[in-house]
Amino acid sequence: MEGDCLSCIKYLMFVFNFLIFLGGSFLLGVGVWVVVDPTGFREIVAANPLLFTGVYIILAMGGMLFLLGFLGCCRAIRENKCLLLFFFMLILIIFLAELAAAILAFIFREHLTREYFTKELKKHYQGYNNTDVFTSTWNAIMNTFDCCGVNSPEDFEESIFRIINPSEMVPEACCRRNNHVGESGFSNREECLSGSMLYRNNKGCYSAVVDYFEMYIYVAGALAIVVLTIELFAMVFAMCLFRGIQ
């Protein structure tokens, strides 16, 4: 009976470690995609140093979970007490690191608010200086998502952009483009720059980006909870298997 129970724990641990392996593979894939993606998501992340750092944290955690899941499967099959203890300590460290990251994300959540991005936009966005990383990033965001400002085009009032370009109400990146087949360029650049609502994008980029990635945000949150739960069970099974091996 005890042998059957130990065998059951061993295979349950193998299953949980395989799930950790899959979770690590997913996080690693997401991290690599964000870093090398040429379609604009990299520029969105680069707009905030906190998000940019988060991408490399995801890469590191994905790589560690990938390796941990693979080694955990091997350890469960071999039933080595030293390897199981090492596995338990390693997964405990990762579990605590992920928990700390979640707490830090909650503490620094104000860095992802509309007010924060609006303040940064007013202070640093220059309009046409593509050598400036912040400016080129925002131009890429507004062109990609057909949006203007953080909340609306009014965000450019009393901004450094208006000081540099006093004759323009909004930057060129806010202007609507022709969507007809065979046509390219702006619908009416001059009217747009003068402030006409008919020829500019009036939706704020904060709402546009959140709407686009809303489903992915919820999926990422749910995945994080699932991974933490799996790691917790993996630690429990590792200890049970450790104590059961003679």
Q: Per residue in 31-61, pLDDT tens? A: 777 666 645 555 555 555 556 666 677 777 7
Model confidence at 184, in pLDDT bands (50, 70, 90)?
low
Choose between 43 and 83: higher pLDDT. 83
> What's the N-to-C CA distance of the chain in angstroms?
15
Q: Are 193 and 128 spatial neighbours (Cβ–Cβ below 8 Å)?
A: no
Model confidence at 160, in pLDDT bands (50, 70, 90)?
very high
**How confident is the model over 127-144, as pLDDT tens digits?**
887 778 888 888 888 988
Q: What is the mean pLDDT of residues 8-26?
A: 73
**How confident is the model over 85-104, as pLDDT tens digits?**
777 787 788 778 777 877 77
CA dihedral 88, 89, 95, 100 (to 10 degrees): 170
Name the residue type at position 170: V
Choose between 190 and 18: higher pLDDT. 190
Model confidence at 79, in pLDDT bands (50, 70, 90)?
low
Cα separation, 48 vs 91, in Å, equals: 30
The encoded tokens of residue 242 equal 């450790």
